[in-house]
Amino acid sequence: MTTTSTPSTRDRLLDAAAELFYREGVGIGVEALCRAAGVSKRSMYQLFDSKDAVLAASLKRRAAGYESQLLPPQDDQRPPRARILHVFEQLEAASIRPEYRGCPYLATQVELKNPDHPASRVARKVKDGLTAYFRSEAERGGAQDPALLARQLTLVFDGASARAGVGAETLDGLTPATAGALLDAAGIA
């Protein structure tokens, strides 16, 4: 006999928030969020202080899955160049999906415009983690200036994800080629 468990009210809210905020933007109202989650506003406010807290919690909750979709596994034995290019290949693969709207963490920061907003702080931490990944791999690969290269790679990633997310650009090999040129210039073979 199989039993299926019903997601908790908190899980339903966070799932609905992740989907709605990504698809529609962070301006979605509390009523629309609660309706999508199938919960009352009272229930939401018993679990979270505000819609901002729901947004921050939903971003934090999805961070590990987001990173695992982008980054190679820890036991990946490929050289740093291949591990860095993997991120850009994953970005391109994601960008061709019809539901792709860009990096949810960058979009949150851009929409909120307030670096002290709880969701902006979560988003910044995730984006800083990607830059730290690039820096670590750049150091392993012997880059001349790993910190600069990491910032450049993050800039390419964010720009490409934003342009693809709004439908202004199809990536078609563009991001691995651009990242590869940066890696060449930094001396990572």
Which pLDDT band holds residue 6 (cuts at 50, 70, 90)? confident
Model pLDDT, residue 3:
55
Model pLDDT, residue 43:
95
Q: Among residues of the chain, what percentage have pLDDT more than 90?
A: 94
Q: State pLDDT tens for residues 20-45.
A: 999 999 999 999 999 999 999 999 99
Euclidean distance between CA atoms 51 and 13, whole angstroms: 10
Q: State pLDDT tens for residues 51-107.
A: 999 999 999 999 999 999 999 998 999 999 999 999 999 999 999 999 999 999 999
Task: Count other C-beta atoms under 10 Å from residue 42's C-beta.
Answer: 8
Q: State pLDDT tens for residues 112-121.
A: 999 999 999 9
Model pLDDT, residue 4:
63
Residue 7 pLDDT exceeds 90: no
Euclidean distance between CA atoms 40 and 18, whole angstroms: 18
CATH number of 9-186: 1.10.357.10
Residue 174 pLDDT exceeds 90: yes
Mean pLDDT of the chain: 95
Task: Specify the length of the chain in residues.
Answer: 189
